[in-house]
Amino acid sequence: MSKLLPAALLSIALVLSQTGSPNPAIARSCSGNRCGPKPIQFVPGQRITVQVANLTSGIIQLQKVYGTEPIALIPGEVSSFVRGGNTDPNFSLVVWDENGQPLRVRIAKPTARTLRVEVRSGGRPPGDRTVYLKDDGRIAVF
């Protein structure tokens, strides 16, 4: 009897697993729109043009980290500058509203060597404040 118990348990387990109750994991591809948009990335070390557009109704401050003074952007204004290259592979950009309102940052890559940063009103406090070009070419928004 003791030898039949393991065989019976194994048989029951095999029968139950074939009934379809347990749902096996299925690997899927990113064909179609299931995986969402690809993250924005540039070739590491590539010089890029950064455009910052103030799409808010108020004045925002923009500062390129590493020894630059803040720049005020009025509503509708766009500021452009070039960053990257072998001597300057990454950068951080800090934005804030003069009145302390939370901001939302949307990034886009309109051309192969252009990063567009659209600053909009809204979002949850404290909002988006920093855009960072990482050493590997990826863009992060904090």
- Can you give the residue ranges of every domain in the chain? 48-141
The per-residue pLDDT for range 6-20, each reduced to its tens digit, is 666 666 666 555 555
The per-residue pLDDT for range 64-78, each reduced to its tens digit, is 887 689 999 999 999
Whole-angstrom CA distances from 139 to 50, 61, 101, 136 are 12, 20, 23, 9
Both ends of the chain: CA-CA distance in Å? 65
Kindly report the pTM of this predicted structure. 0.73
Nearest to 97 by CA among 120, 66, 68: 120
C-alpha to C-alpha distance for 137 and 44, rounded to whole angstroms: 5
Q: What CATH code is assigned to 48-141?
A: 2.60.270.50
C-alpha to C-alpha distance for 50 and 116, rounded to whole angstroms: 6
More confident residue, 38 or 98: 98
Structure tokens of 7? Answer: 């065989």
* 19: Cα separation from own chain's centroid: 42
Q: Mean pLDDT in the chain?
A: 82
* 123: Cα separation from own chain's centroid: 15
- Largest CA-CA distance found in the chain, in angstroms, rounded: 86
Average pLDDT over residues 125-136: 90
H or E stretch including 65? none
Average pLDDT over residues 101-123: 95
